[in-house]
Chains A and B, each alone.
Chain A
């Protein structure tokens, strides 16, 4: 199978092996990705033991990667793993040019912007994901991606043209199925993406949601956005400051700020950047599933921003 062969030759870089990185590594290794490079310079801390399952109690103080690597490899001896315990921030630009796909977890907004600039420079698909306690997010920048979906033709031919801000049908071919009894369509959808920095500056939901959707939209969306504005990490987050920034985020996104609920602001101010195993599993599973899909060049990929609200289990996909 061509998709399998592409998977097996793909070189993927995963930045940071925290709870989320661990889930992604597990899923990619099980799926048989060809080459997985892990870069992480952290030592095993006590907190890691409640978010990660490749470490063990007696390994506190050793390098996370050194401890985890044999358990990761044990899941699938066929995957070629590369371990790098240097700080990814110290890597030269050229480092990022050697991969087919890069996934960043647990990085600050500033770091994400830099890595994304480099993935753009080297034309490499980029996934950014992170956790905020009961909530988690995924940002995707594939630069440009043509997806091919196949479906039974309905009474009208699928028209060419824009589907949404970032998606456009560019080619439709008809073909008969094996029994020669039904007409199918092979639809090529071109996905355009924007860099993270631009999405932070200009991304909006204005005109993209119905009134009802706006009303029911989870607070996790503007609050996740507000947390991005802490460029170098979450040390400065306070409840009051976060509320201010969430109000600003609502203005940019085109959401009514009066919908912000106190308990959500409270929750996000206390849980910014906090990892939690079940949320890691959902976000890590979603990222890995899409990475596998993209490496196999199959169906429409995620485009381009996803937020999970771990309380209501709301998980929308937004084009920003």
Chain B
């Protein structure tokens, strides 16, 4: 069944190319769900969806492929199943981490014509960007934060890559940190506001007994029922209006749920265990000073007081939304966050501080995700040169796009659409010569780091000392004053399939040094060590300023690099400052405490 509109837009020949294209979608969250729908409707031949996450209650109001019955299911597989009914594409879902080199070695990425990033974290974005650079495959990068969003096509070798400019993406927290293992007060505030409060007061979501659960597995149905029952048990208590039941709510949230978490022992191997709030009591002592940190008993009393008021209000208001300027909702969130913080042995905060932080939490906006995903899929057609009537575009004639009106940056532009810039010659990622080095297991087990370094020095004509950095873990393996690991085997220094080694000239020369080279370690059965034939030019060394924070190789590293071996002598190098880019602006927000929930 041909897709009539795609045929008219692309022409028959390009449509056939689209049908035979295999594409990779990384992320099945807010942008990912929308993007998957678009790619399916456009008619791409085969779409692989990779996401490690499972569906959380808080996803449902914007990730439109997910329903309440899907909670705790894998995002990737659920999304694929949910769009199947209109799909003529082969859909392949992977519940996995895109950075897992055993499941997704470099060679696996090479089967795709294009990668779509629909990610919520910097690390994975950088990783896919790097894979795109190794394979010279186009990447469509995208991101949203509240009403701000951007898309950026990346054509390796021809346009700016993701790391050509310093990125300042807002903090995001994984769901499990919020729900199970908070380690900062803000995690407790996010939990209180976006999970506990919204579950108790903001959602109704009744589930009827005969709802289609999408499975026939008896055990599975039982599990979903239990999950759903637990969800609604608390709501029922709240909605009963019976104030004597607040004790039950309190006990469930701050004692029983914590006990359940404690039972999962592996969570606490490297973390301090929480202590359930046993023997709690309610009394009348209410602290009214919003600028001081209250005692735990005052928090407990405030929780009871706020819950009573909100229960009362529910009888006339169908549901209540959190609003930092609504004192009942604020008091509830502040008290709940502080009690949880105390259970997890974290510092408590004043109501006023919590008001600031909770007000700065930027919710993900469904429409922004929809617009950005639309632009991303649209832009891919030009990147892949699939449009009829359009001559093949020079990569730097392609456009990126970011929200302008919604970001309060313009009154007469809904989007800004600058053309793509050329690669930054000082980019820590794409300016570096790179290649793949295939080694056998035997090589890894027996070859010493010094042998590999020697071979590299000879092959690429490094005349003096070099440093070796494991980019995957940011560990320094060797440099001029750190030679402890040179006699160890590659396996001993944890070089394995998927390791990326960055070799840099450490020669102290003012004239010229050899450019750095990056090697992706692939595992196979080669004959001997065949370092890739790549040209590694001589470059002028960067002027080393007295300030130690400047990078030494003439290229800056993304983030900090910390010397391994028990961090005895932390050696840090910092980011260069780069000029403000549209993408950066699009993601920049005024508040200091910024949390994006996705």
Contacts and interface: CB of A to CB of B under 8 A. Distances in A.
Interface in B274-297: none
Contacts, number: 163
A85 interface: no
A32 B367 CA distance: 12
Interface stretch (A104-112, A154-162, A246-254, A270-278): A270-278
B5 interface: yes
A134 B11 CA distance: 13
Interface stretch (B304-312, B404-412, B461-469): B404-412
A215 B368 CA distance: 30
A27 B378 CA distance: 19
Interface string A270-289: 11001111111110111011
A49 B367 CA distance: 22
B373 A281 contact: yes
A74 interface: yes
A278 B378 contact: yes
Interface string B353-389: 0010000000001111011011101110010000111
B175 interface: no
A135 to B, nearest CB: 11
A116 interface: no
A286 B389 contact: no
A23 B64 CA distance: 11
Contacts of B3: 50
B38 A277 contact: yes
A61 interface: no
A1 to B, nearest CB: 5
A47 B399 CA distance: 30
A45 to B, nearest CB: 9
B218 interface: no
A136 to B, nearest CB: 10
A245 B61 CA distance: 44
A27 B370 contact: yes
A289 B367 contact: yes
B8 interface: yes
B390 A263 contact: yes
A31 B414 contact: no
A236 interface: no
B371 A286 contact: yes
A313 interface: yes
Contacts of A121: none
B107 interface: no
Contacts of B367: 27, 31, 285-286, 288-289, 292
A47 to B, nearest CB: 5
Nearest to A265: B389
Contact of B5 (A47, A178, A266): A47
Nearest to B149: A285
A46 interface: yes
B206 A77 contact: yes
Given A26-B64, A274-B9, A281 B411 contact: no
Contact of B64 (A30, A270, A275, A289): A30
Contacts of A133: 5, 8-9
A1 B370 contact: no
B85 interface: yes
Please list the 9 inter-chain residue pairs (A to B) with the smallest Cβ-Cβ separation, ordered nearest first: A281-B374, A277-B41, A285-B370, A285-B371, A282-B374, A289-B367, A56-B85, A278-B378, A50-B3
